[in-house]
Amino acid sequence: MREYLENVRKKMPLVHNITNYVTVNDVANILLACGGSPIMSDEAEDVEDITSVCGGLNINIGTLHRQSIEAMFRAGKKANELGHPVLLDPVGAGASSLRTDTALRLMKELDLCVIRGNISEIKTLALGSGTTKGVDADAADAVTEETLGRSIAFVKRFAKDAGAVIAVTGAIDLVSDGTACCVIRNGRPEMGKITGTGCQLSGMMTAYVTANPEHPLEAAAASVCAMGLAGEIGFRRMQEGDGNATYRNRIIDAIYNLTGEQLEKGADYEIR
Amino acid sequence: MREYLENVRKKMPLVHNITNYVTVNDVANILLACGGSPIMSDEAEDVEDITSVCGGLNINIGTLHRQSIEAMFRAGKKANELGHPVLLDPVGAGASSLRTDTALRLMKELDLCVIRGNISEIKTLALGSGTTKGVDADAADAVTEETLGRSIAFVKRFAKDAGAVIAVTGAIDLVSDGTACCVIRNGRPEMGKITGTGCQLSGMMTAYVTANPEHPLEAAAASVCAMGLAGEIGFRRMQEGDGNATYRNRIIDAIYNLTGEQLEKGADYEIR
Amino acid sequence: MREYLENVRKKMPLVHNITNYVTVNDVANILLACGGSPIMSDEAEDVEDITSVCGGLNINIGTLHRQSIEAMFRAGKKANELGHPVLLDPVGAGASSLRTDTALRLMKELDLCVIRGNISEIKTLALGSGTTKGVDADAADAVTEETLGRSIAFVKRFAKDAGAVIAVTGAIDLVSDGTACCVIRNGRPEMGKITGTGCQLSGMMTAYVTANPEHPLEAAAASVCAMGLAGEIGFRRMQEGDGNATYRNRIIDAIYNLTGEQLEKGADYEIR
């Protein structure tokens, strides 16, 4: 795990983010915290230039606009042309036709390096339709110790079909390239009470896969471990009266201070 | 008061927010803090689907765009069709024709459950025009102990005319359904030095009225008390050198930790 | 320095911001912290009304949209007509044609009071083209003790040509009106690990020049000293485990508590 984190700090990858306006500030700050550098641009006329000066592209459909959809395709095609890794975060896929259709079209027309979402969003993409309730995963879909075997098989198969690393995050996180599946148990349930921990992870994951181009599976898994570990470290620093606003800051702070050694020691994962 | 808060924690209402990009992250975090669940979407093609999976709709005109205006009407009509409560926060009504006209049209074409604003914004809606200076209330309009009788009469009359619960927030808060008026004295003047405490309240109030469909007046008033109380609790936790950025976090944290019992005990209101 | 800060607290200037959605919340909170009052509007149909009720205009091109560009010109022309100071923050000029061209056109068509950017952005405007890497300055362009003489000459000349106060911020900050150049050494390198400290400064600087209309050079320089000093004060309050998220809050908090006396004593500058 250690070297994937350290490569981000060393190479300081510039990441182009086309992301929602809800959590964009936290995405920018966590990218800086992990050692990357963020730039945001979602205007179709601007994105090809911007993605060209960057090393990776993070596409998040959390607040789609007709014009930003155009920007996603133009930026994605340019990034593909340049060989930059492209990550898709299909926020809310399954909750609306526009989100589901846009995510499916992005999968079809772009060469994606990673797709990261919650289990309901990922199932929507795998099945081509869905019933996601809002932006959180359906309880019925949850990856638990009971459903783990089936969930791993599903994620592996979908990774193979999609030709991308698939990262499903939740109580237990699964990251697979179609062959191996990394099962990760870092994190805290209270992270779900902060808006945008998923978006933040997608931003940081883009930096990790950009800085570790030969190892997208390992880099994606390392970023998931880092985020979960930051959630654990941040939670230990919570004091009486603190809540989700302070917790948000403590997690980003923990990413800022996280060392390769800490990640190596604290990462709680197994390969299946 | 207690049961209105507890119903939010129990039912975890999903709230669709069409809101400004300035304070949207805080709105999302306070919705999570109070026990609700936020989703944001302001693209006309997306909003009908999104509002359909939600329980309530929060419309905030803080940063209007031509396209988001269309989205507000489409979402509002769909929410009305489905019987979901719709809240309007007329940020800056009176400061520009576009804001005043849009707010008036939303009032006319939608069936609103609650309208929440500062006194200048609400006067603008009542009079059909206004002279709001920016997004803060004019000192001349302020609800004070001296003007209280007149202000209560004004809010009751406007609530009756508008057929909605009216919530006017400021040093003294007034919430009326046209018959009763709840006069609330929770809160701290320093809350005015944080951007978006009003927007946050509107988001949380939507969760409260959604989780308490039979009691919009009481639920709206309870959310006003909760916000003011959180302002008091958060302020007591401020330390030497802290300012408005930390205060923002402490208020959201206080909402996160607020219990029905605390609200019951701390709510400072009378019915007039 | 003292009176420039105190005029902001006394006059509470209302500042119209057309700014990016990444750092907009922090811009609003720092404007409140310093004693000003923020309003955001980037819809072409709305901006003339909004800028008319304000005292100054802050244009930041961090996330350009076709429609917000139109709004920048309409607001800028109205502000010029009314004699309001207009500040331009050319975020990412040099990184894309759209950004470079828009910034150059804004310079040409508007009467700007101040242009504030990093050295790469400012060089791009001076040369009419550039090679900015993202939104951070190129190391090759950095203002250092070694390049100081040349950098001062460059900034003075560009200020004269542009007919505006030029503020270049970095490890050493330079503020010039074409005649004098204020060289400022406040601040901390860790401020670069927070997204939007530059955007925040631009917002606050607009409040300073609005509240001190006869002294744009001094007011701009005072705001640069205030921001740097807040970075120093905030850094001294950092505790074990804190990172860039907490540092962001501490800086805004420090601006909130900063007095004229502290600024007078802490400002580290010389006139060249």
The predicted-structure confidence for C239-272, as pLDDT tens digits, reads as follows 999 999 999 999 999 999 999 999 999 999 999 9
Q: What pLDDT was estimated at residue B129?
A: 74
Determine contact: C253 vs chain B, CB below 8 A. yes
Q: What is the pLDDT of residue C128?
A: 85
- B12, B34, B45, B257: best to mutate for the A interface, most A CBs within 10 A: B45
Q: What is the arithmetic mean of pLDDT over C12-33? A: 98
Please answer whether residues B50 and A96 qualify as being in contact, where contact means their C-beta atoms are separated by less than 8 angstroms.
yes
**B195 with C38: Cβ contact below 8 A:** yes
Contacts with C38 from chain B: Cβ below 8 Å: 135, 195
Does the pLDDT value for residue B132 go beyond 70? no
| Interface contact B105, partner C, CB < 8 A | no
pLDDT at C133: 63
Residue (of C260, C238, C130) closest to C191 by Cα position = C238
* A107 pLDDT more than 80: yes
E-only strand ranges, chain C: 14-18, 37-40, 56-60, 86-89, 114-117, 165-168, 173-176, 181-184, 269-271
Q: Among B143-147, C59-63, C87-91, which is the least confidently predicted range?
A: B143-147
Q: Which residues of B touch C231 (CB under 8 A)?
A: none
pLDDT at C67 over 80: yes
- Given a cut of 90, whether residue C90 has pLDDT beyond it is yes
Counting Cβ atoms within 10 Å, is residue A39 exposed (0-12), middle (13-18) or buried (19+)? buried
C248–chain A Cβ distance below 8 A for any pair:
yes
Instruction: Kindly state the average pLDDT of the residues C12-24.
Output: 98
Tokens of C17: 């911001």
Q: How confident is the model at residue A133 (pLDDT cuts 50, 70, 90)?
A: low
* C12–chain B nearest CA distance, Å: 12
Instruction: Name the residue facing B253 among A21, A135, A243 (closest C-beta).
Output: A243
Per cent of chain C over pLDDT 90 is 94
- Chain A: partners with 3+ C-beta pairs within 8 Å: B, C
pLDDT of residue B131: 65
Res B24: pLDDT: 98
Does the pLDDT of residue A129 top 80, yes or no?
no
Task: Indicate whether A259 pLDDT > 90.
Answer: yes
Closest CA to A205 of A154, A163, A169, A170: A169
- Residue B133: the pLDDT is 63
Asked if the model's pLDDT at residue B146 lies above 80, the reply is: yes
Residue B46 has pLDDT above 70, yes or no: yes
Instruction: Give the torsion sign (CA, A211, A216, A218, A224).
Output: positive
Q: How many CB atoms lie within 10 A of CB A215?
A: 17
Give residue C229's pLDDT.
98
Strands C114-117 and C86-89: what pairing?
parallel
Determine contact: B259 vs chain A, CB below 8 A: no
Token code pair at residue C10: 């006394």
- Chains contacting chain C through 3 or more C-beta pairs under 8 A: A, B
Strands A165-168 and A114-117: parallel
Provide the pLDDT for residue A44: 97
Per DSSP bridges, beta strands B181-184 and B173-176 are antiparallel
pLDDT tens, position by position, C168-218: 999 999 999 999 999 999 999 999 999 999 999 999 999 999 999 999 999
Task: Specify which residues A269 forms β-bridges with.
Answer: A184
Burial class (CB in 10 A: 0-12, 13-18, 19+), A185: middle
Quick one: pLDDT band at residue C28, thresholds 50, 70, 90? very high
Q: Which of B25, B37, B43 sits opposite A136 (nearest CB)?
A: B37
Residue A181 has pLDDT above 70, yes or no: yes
Per-residue pLDDT tens digits for B156-202: 999 999 999 999 999 999 999 999 999 999 999 999 999 999 999 99
Determine which helix (DSSP H) or strand (DSSP E) holds A226, and give its type and residue range.
helix A216-236
In sequence order, what are the residues at sequence separation of 6 or more whose Cβ sits closer than 8 angstroms to the Cβ of residue A209? A56, A85, A87, A113, A114, A165, A216, A219, A220, A223
Contact map slice: C 149-168 vs B, CB within 8 A: none
ipTM of the modeled complex: 0.96
- Residue B256 CA, chain-centre distance (Å), reads 18
pLDDT mean across residues, chain A: 96
Confidence of residue A124 (pLDDT cuts 50, 70, 90): very high
Inter-chain touch A243–B237, beta carbons under 8 Å: no
Q: What is the pLDDT of residue C136?
A: 73
| Interchain proximity B39–A96, CB inside 8 Å | no
Q: Are A195 and B233 a contacting pair at CB < 8 A?
A: no
Closest-CA distance of chain B to residue A264, Å? 31
List, as one string, the DSSP characters of A168-216.
E-SSSEEEESSS-EEEE----GGGGGSTTHHHHHHHHHHHHHHH-TT-H
Query: Is 90 exceeded by the pLDDT of residue C68?
Result: yes
Q: What is the mean pLDDT of chain C?
A: 96
Which DSSP string corresponds to A34-97?
A: HT-EEEE---HHHHHHHHHHSSEEEEE-TT--HHHHHHHHHHHHHHHHHT--EEEE-TTBTTBH
Residue A272, pLDDT above cutoff 70: yes
pLDDT one-digit tens code per residue, B201-224: 999 999 999 999 999 999 999 999
User: For residue A106, which phi and psi values (nearest 5 degrees)?
Assistant: -60, -40
pLDDT tens readout for residues C117-169: 999 999 999 998 766 666 777 777 889 999 999 999 999 999 999 999 999 99
Are A23 and B28 within 8 A, CB to CB?
yes
- CA–CA separation, C232 and C187 (whole Å): 6
- The pair of structure tokens assigned to A54 is 């960057």
- Per-residue confidence band for B138, with pLDDT thresholds at 50, 70 and 90: confident
> Shortest Cα distance from B196 to chain C (angstroms)?
9
- Give the tens place of pLDDT for each residue, B225-271: 999 999 999 999 999 999 999 999 999 999 999 999 999 999 999 99
Once rounded to an integer, what is the mean pLDDT over residues C17-41? 98
Average pLDDT over every residue of B39-53:
98
Provide the number of CB pairs (under 8 Å) joining chain B to chain C: 102
